[in-house]
């Protein structure tokens, strides 16, 4: 009887499997012909290695939103993001929601990050941490005549993030400068290597990762968690350092480099430093003719979004509509088969299909699109964010923090944090006229790398090195395009 039942069951399994295969084939056909003639995933948005997008304006915005706000559930979007970010596991051993397919990890990580962000919202306290971080970084000028600008900003931002955001048990000055620099340098190198497919580069990841672990341990961040936060699922401090620091420092560097020579902006930063309030951050014309500090930060993030392209993996056979069709089918017919998709309904879904393509929402392209931002779209002009001229279409197209359910939860905190860090720096460093330290500029601005020729040094009236700027910033050669910076000239 038992044997008969087994034979019966296995015959039934074969029938079901054949049936499912046939359904699968016809659904593939239906879904691909449907997708090729209707909305589905946008094709005009720049896909990897397919060259420039032909879509512009509203159509490009729709394409990006179709990727970032798809029909699928949040759990499915988490999976789709994790698959496209797999390289970050290899490079950094991350275990956060950017790389994990688990919806539980997503919820736990987001809750922990929100907890940390809330605690870091005391702006006078955060400013104090930033001021101490600037002093700690300037202290290295006791041993050297100059500090490279990127190293300077990386160090300040890392100390501020560790003490003011992650609440490590230390003061900014007590954090060992060598290991601060080492952590910043190794993260940047590992980030670059994570994109490489060369076997030699891949082999170099492990020893560099080990060096990073050692330096983080020296800074009081062993790989097991941070006090005050329940780290049951997360073990690696980089889970927080990467999303927070790796984005922030570049926005600080570019915002400061674009505006440090503008008297009006520096004066606004001074007012903001004395009273770090939302009002002083958001108000235009605090000093006559100047943009708000928020506008400066947002203009940096418009032209140089730290996450220039946001990836999502979708199965090669043109889902997610297909996934949804199969999922609905499986739910409606109690088939005793295991199909390519295994979703428990609790959010612990996992797409087991073998082949994926990664689609990218091209944030940088949409934020520089001339049909949305005008012919001067690549000009650094914070005044374009003035409420009187900022259009609803521009509002929709300005998405440095992503969009939809997985949008950045630091979107409110991060811009203000950049402003506070800038205010602390501007108190000590300017373009060579009044402050004790001077920023000397290189030929062009960098991003993660490329800050050659930029450095900070003590001001000396006999210096032969002259900063290549005037008091109103006239000859600032902007990285993107020289030109109409007149709007941000201050008093
Ligand atoms: C200038 C600074 C920042 C930028 C430009 C930025 C950018 C982004 C972007 C584009 C996303 C969406 C990713 C996607 O859709 O796949 C994102 C998500 C996220 N960011 Fe940020 N971020 C910044 C700062 C921060 C900070 C300070 C934190 C604090 C921990 C943070 C935590 C997160 C988290 C937890 C998510 C995932 C949210 C979710 O899955 O629901 N970010 N960020």
Give residue-wise pLDDT tens across range 191-248.
999 999 999 999 999 999 999 999 999 998 877 655 555 545 557 899 999 999 999 9
Q: How confident is the model at residue 409 (pLDDT cuts 50, 70, 90)?
A: very high
Helix (H) or strand (E) run with residue 186 in it: helix 177-194
| β-bridge mates for residue 311, sequence order | 360
Residue 457 or residue 27, greater confidence: 457
Give the distance (Å) from ligand 1 centre to CA of residue 414.
9
Closest Cα to atom 41 of ligand 1: 406
What the block records as the tokens of 254 is 């570019």
Residue 298 has what pLDDT?
A: 98
Give the distance (Å) from ligand 1 centre to CA of residue 81.
13
Q: How confident is the model at residue 462 (pLDDT cuts 50, 70, 90)?
A: low
Give the distance (Å) from ligand 1 centre to CA of residue 420.
19
- 174-201 burial by CB neighbour count: b if 16+ within 10 A, else e? ebeeebbbbbbbbbbbbbebbeeeeeee
Residue 90 or residue 346, greater confidence: 90
Residue 22 has what pLDDT?
A: 41
Q: What is the mean pLDDT of residues 397-407?
A: 97
> Ligand 1 pocket test: which of 96, 401, 417 has the largest number of ligand atoms within 8 Å of its C-beta?
401
Among 258, 256, 251, residue whose Cα is nearest residue 269: 256
Residue 144 has what pLDDT?
A: 85
Q: How confident is the model at residue 373 (pLDDT cuts 50, 70, 90)?
A: very high
Which atom of ligand 1 lies at the shortest distance from residue 399's CA?
Answer: 10
Closest Cα to atom 39 of ligand 1: 406
Lowest mean pLDDT across 139-148, 291-300, 383-392: 139-148
Residue 141 has what pLDDT?
A: 84
Q: How confident is the model at residue 140 (pLDDT cuts 50, 70, 90)?
A: confident
Q: What is the mean pLDDT of residues 59-66?
A: 92
Give the distance (Å) from ligand 1 centre to CA of residue 244.
8
Instruction: Calculate the average pLDDT of the chain.
Output: 79
State pTM to two decimals: 0.80
- Looking at the predicted structure, is the pLDDT value of residue 339 above 70? no
Lowest mean pLDDT across 36-40, 56-60, 122-126, 178-182: 36-40
Helix (H) or strand (E) run with residue 456 in it: strand 455-458
Residue 464 has what pLDDT?
A: 45
Which atom of ligand 1 lies at the shortest distance from residue 250's CA?
Answer: 1
Residue 230 has what pLDDT?
A: 52
What the block records as the tokens of 490 is 């201050």
Residue 316 has what pLDDT?
A: 65
- How far are the Cα atoms of 156, 245, 257, 260 from residue 209, in angstroms, in the given order? 22, 17, 31, 35
Residue 479 or residue 140, greater confidence: 140
Which atom of ligand 1 lies at the shortest distance from residue 68's CA?
Answer: 15
Among 101, 114, 44, residue whose Cα is nearest residue 353: 101
Rounded Cα distance, 178 and 341, in Å: 48
Residue 236 has what pLDDT?
A: 86
Class of domain 57-316+355-488: mainly alpha
- Looking at the predicted structure, is the pLDDT value of residue 414 above 90? yes
Residue 485 or residue 296, greater confidence: 296
Around ligand 1, the residues with Cβ closer than 6 Å are 81, 97, 106, 110, 113, 117, 240, 243-244, 247-248, 251, 306-307, 310, 400-402, 406-410, 413-414
Q: What is the mean pLDDT of residues 99-113?
A: 93
The CA angle 11-17-20, to the nearest 5 degrees, is: 145
What the block records as the tokens of 417 is 């944090």
Residue 81 has what pLDDT?
A: 95
């Amino acid at each position: 009887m038992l044997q008969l039942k087994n034979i019966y069951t296995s015959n039934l399994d074969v029938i079901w499997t054949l049936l499912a295969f046939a359904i699968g084939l016809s659904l593939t056909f239906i879904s691909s012909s449907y997708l090729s003639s209707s909305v589905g995933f946008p094709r005009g948005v720049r896909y990897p290695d397919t060259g420039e997008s032909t879509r512009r304006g509203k159509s490009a915005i729709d394409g990006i939103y179709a990727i970032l706000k798809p029909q699928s559930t949040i759990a499915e979007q988490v999976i789709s993001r994790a698959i496209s970010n797999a390289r970050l596991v290899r490079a950094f051993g991350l275990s956060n929601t950017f790389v994990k397919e688990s919806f539980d990890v997503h919820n736990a990580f987001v809750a922990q990050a929100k907890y940390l962000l809330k605690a870091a919202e005391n702006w006078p306290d955060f400013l104090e941490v930033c001021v101490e971080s600037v002093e700690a970084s300037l202290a290295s000028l006791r041993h050297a005549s100059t500090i490279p600008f990127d190293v300077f900003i990386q160090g300040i931002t890392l100390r501020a993030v560790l003490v003011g955001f992650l609440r490590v048990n230390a003061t900014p000055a007590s954090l060992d400068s060598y290991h601060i620099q080492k952590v910043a340098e190794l993260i940047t190198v590992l980030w670059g290597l994570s994109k490489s497919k060369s076997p030699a580069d891949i082999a170099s990841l492990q020893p560099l990762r080990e060096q990073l672990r050692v330096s983080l341990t020296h800074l009081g961040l062993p790989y097991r968690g941070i006090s005050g936060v329940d780290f049951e699922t997360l073990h690696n401090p980089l889970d927080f350092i990467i999303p927070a620091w790796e984005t922030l420092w570049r926005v600080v560097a570019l915002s400061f480099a674009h505006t440090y020579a503008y008297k009006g902006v520096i004066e606004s930063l001074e007012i903001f430093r004395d009273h770090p309030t939302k009002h002083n951050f958001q108000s235009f014309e605090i000093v006559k003719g100047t943009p708000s500090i928020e506008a400066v930060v947002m203009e940096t993030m418009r032209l140089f979004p730290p996450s220039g392209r946001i990836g999502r993996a979708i199965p090669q056979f043109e889902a997610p509509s297909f996934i949804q069709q199969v999922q609905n089918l499986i739910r409606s017919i109690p088939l005793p088969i295991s199909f390519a998709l295994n979703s428990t309904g609790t959010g612990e879904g996992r797409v087991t299909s073998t082949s994926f393509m990664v689609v990218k929402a091209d944030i940088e392209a949409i934020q520089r699109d001339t049909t949305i931002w005008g012919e001067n779209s690549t000009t650094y002009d914070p005044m374009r964010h003035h409420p009187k001229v900022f259009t609803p279409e521009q509002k929709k197209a300005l998405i440095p923090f992503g969009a939809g359910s997985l949008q950045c939860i630091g979107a409110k905190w991060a811009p203000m944090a950049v402003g506070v860090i800038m205010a602390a720096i501007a108190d000590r460093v300017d373009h060579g006229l009044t402050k004790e330290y001077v920023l000397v500029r290189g030929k062009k601005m960098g991003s993660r790398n490329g800050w050659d020729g930029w450095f900070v040094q003590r001001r000396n009236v006999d210096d032969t090195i002259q900063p290549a700027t005037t008091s109103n910033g006239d000859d600032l050669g902007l990285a993107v395009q020289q030109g109409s910076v007149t709007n941000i000239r201050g008093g």
